[in-house]
Amino acid sequence: MGNVMERNQISRKGLTFGIILLFIGTSIIPSTAQNIWKPSLLTSRGNWLYVGGSGPGNYSRIQDAIDNAIDGDTVFVYSGTYYENLVVTKSISVIGEDKNITVIDGMGAKDKNCVTITDTSKVNLMGFTFQNATYPNTYGVEIEDANEITIIDNIFNYDYFGLWIFGDNNIISNNKFSNITYSCVIIIKANYNLFSYNNIIKSNGGGIEVWTHSEYNIISHNHISTPYTCIIFYGHDCNSNRINNNTMSDSLAGIGLLENSERNMISYNNFIKIKKVVRFYGCNINTFDSNYWGRPLTHPKIIFGIRLIYLFTIKSHSYYFPDHNIYLPILKTYIDKNPAKEPYDI
């Protein structure tokens, strides 16, 4: 073990052709996202290391192959179930043979994710099922202080949380999230990320949560159905994000805008069988345009919520308690002037 398998030129060319086809199929995205879409990242510049299968010199554990890889290498994992908690700190590609039968099982290990990608950039992860990261506050995949990470064509199943993103210029596309205990995706202090063509179903919690200081993210062409809120923004400076061409259905709420989330564009979405389509509180400047609101409308759609007017601050004069701002809540409305008369084909 530990040796790199001699390259098989025929199988390598076939796999490379398949990857090219995958990116042709997934690169149809809004033109405004082109500045963060980097399909060239999957081009192999180094050696290929193999896990599983029957080839001489193949690794039996994915982490061993990752540990022996260097920047630019590709770790290819043959189908099977691998009981591991992976940590990636290098600029490599980790590719599963078939997402339906190439499984990384987190074993419910305490404080461990199925995969943690940290302190690195330009990592590609595709072709896996991530399951059984079931210990409280663990994730199928955690991106922690990492940028230009590509997560494509995976299944997140039976995890406590699905995906955590703390980093910029990451691409999350063509993944399926199901049977997640709490939120499927959490984006925090993360900018210029693209979240597209994903399918979120059968979650026990929320869909996509965008937290404090997350700006210029694109959430597009996703199908989201959760018991609670499909997409929610809360915390200061969740600004200038684009939510377009998504279908949100069978949920308590479609969009939530809370705590000074400003200048977000919500357009060309389907809201179907949503009890409360939009909830907002403490927000002033956001735009709704050309959404389908669950039924044909021949007049503008009025959306009611609350904005907050700052009044004054109560000084605490205590180390243990912060100052407390006092606001006056008043009625606020948004208007979608061009509501769609029928749902979009997304």
Per-residue confidence (pLDDT) for residue 319, from 0 to 100: 67
Per-residue pLDDT tens digits of the chain, which is 346 residues long: 444 333 333 343 344 334 434 433 433 333 333 333 333 334 456 999 999 998 889 999 999 999 999 999 999 999 999 999 999 999 999 999 999 999 999 999 999 999 999 999 999 999 999 999 999 999 999 999 999 999 999 999 999 999 999 999 999 999 999 999 999 999 999 999 999 999 999 888 889 999 999 999 999 999 999 999 999 998 778 999 999 999 999 999 999 998 788 999 999 999 999 999 998 888 878 999 999 999 999 999 999 988 878 888 998 887 667 788 888 888 899 999 999 999 999 9
Which domains are assigned to the chain? 83-91+108-336 (2.160.20.10)
Per-residue confidence (pLDDT) for residue 204, from 0 to 100: 85
Per-residue confidence (pLDDT) for residue 161, from 0 to 100: 97
Closest alpha carbon to 162 in 195, 122, 119, 123 = 195
Per-residue confidence (pLDDT) for residue 320, from 0 to 100: 67
Evaluate if pTM is beyond 0.85.
Answer: no
Q: How many angstroms separate the CA atoms of 41 and 146, rounded?
A: 15
Amino acid of residue 41? L
